[in-house]
Structure 1
Amino acid sequence: HIDHLREIAHIGFEVDHLIKSMEEWADRHTRKKRITRMGGPRPEEEAPDTKALRLKEERLKQRA
């Protein structure tokens, strides 16, 4: 029974850690965007998936 509780606590800790790192990542990301919007050092690079999506949309437009 105690092992089961320990397992739950461990999973809770891992989830908490994951959420914390995701929040930190999001914070860095929004800060980077904010700097770019204010005319920062260079435009932020697109995330690979965003770029792929944009290229796909452009190809579809060209085909139309």
Structure 2
Amino acid sequence: MVLFDANVLYPNALRDLLLRIAQSGFVQAKWTDEILDPMSSGTSGRTGPISTPASWTGRGS
């Protein structure tokens, strides 16, 4: 199991790569709503908010 932080979920290319690896079954990806909060609110220090697709299934508690 791998816990993805917002720092690796924010960049599109890196997020795509990591989620594809998880979808292939090599790792089980997890993250929390608290990890996604800075991404959706635009407070991650980057250039604005991004959407978090409903197809992401890694949310855990």
- Establish whether TM, by shorter chain, passes 0.5: no
Structure with larger Rg: 1
Q: Please, what TM-score do these two structures have when normalized by structure 1?
A: 0.32
Task: Considering Cα pairs closer than 8 Å and 6+ residues apart, tell me whether 1 or 2 has the greater RCO.
Answer: 2
Greater per-residue helix proportion: 1
Greater per-residue strand proportion: 2
